[in-house]
Chains A and B, each alone.
Chain A
């Protein structure tokens, strides 16, 4: 910022406002987006690179991210892998729902306080429900 250094007063920031759903989904959109970009696309590249490398490299990917046949360190990374995959699924659904919310806000609709709070809350309900349904289907079918 091109302002004089020193102790100029700052505008009130996050800590001074009472949290509401719109604030929460706004920062969640950024957190999930960056999580998907770094962890999600990183994992996607590992997966597709391992798949291109042949059966052995693909098995290495599966072992370290999910199966952990060797135990030990692999058990830890496979637990992290499961948390990451479920977390990324939730992050995708949350980012998708808040992204669609942004499309609505882009056309100038949905700024009334009650509607804004209601749709913000609904994006979080949707992401949790969609994640549960997706993984229930994957694990049970």
Chain B
């Protein structure tokens, strides 16, 4: 256990025993976004055209496909953590808290899974 001082609580020994993980995960995924999202934006900006053939051929290549799947994992996790904090600040009644808890634990994973399946189809599907 912590010794009851604020540094003891910061070290993860406060009442919840895992207070710092959320904070650190939010920062870690922020750094990931700092690489992944500019990569996506610069790639899209540099494309000579945005028709199906050009964009599909780009997304099917190993590096872009990897980056897109990492976005589905990293960016969705970052968004999930941020939305959770926003809901914790603004939703105060018990029913709303349960709805928020269900939302934050289901929807981001469903979205990320759909995104990953889509990228895999693009990279491996041929069509």
A residues near B (Cβ < 8 Å) are 1, 30, 33-34, 36-37, 41, 44-45, 48-49, 51-52, 54-55, 58-59, 62, 89, 92, 96, 99, 103, 106, 134, 137-138, 141
Contact = CB atoms under 8 A, between A and B. Distances in A.
B32 to A, nearest CB: 12
Contacts of A44: 71, 115
A58 B122 CA distance: 12
Given A45-B115, A92-B41, A134-B45, A58 B83 contact: no
A134 B41 CA distance: 9
B88 to A, nearest CB: 12
Contacts of B92: 1
B37 A103 contact: no
A1 B92 CA distance: 7
30 contacts: A30-B82, A33-B82, A34-B86, A36-B79, A37-B79, A41-B76, A41-B111, A44-B71, A44-B115, A48-B59, A48-B68, A48-B115, A48-B118, A48-B119, A48-B122, A51-B56, A52-B117, A52-B118, A52-B119, A54-B52, A55-B52, A58-B52, A58-B55, A58-B56, A59-B52, A89-B41, A92-B37, A103-B30, A134-B41, A137-B45
The 8 lowest CB-CB distance pairs between A and B, nearest first, are: A37-B79, A52-B118, A52-B121, A48-B118, A55-B52, A58-B52, A33-B82, A49-B118
Given A1-B92, A92-B41, A49 B114 contact: yes
B104 to A, nearest CB: 11
Interface of B: 27, 30, 33-34, 37, 41, 44-45, 50, 52, 55-56, 59, 68, 71, 75-76, 79, 82-83, 86, 92, 111, 114-115, 117-119, 121-122, 125, 127
Contacts of B125: 52
Which secondary structure dominates where chain B touches chain A?
helix
Contacts of A89: 41
Contacts of B79: 33, 36-37, 41
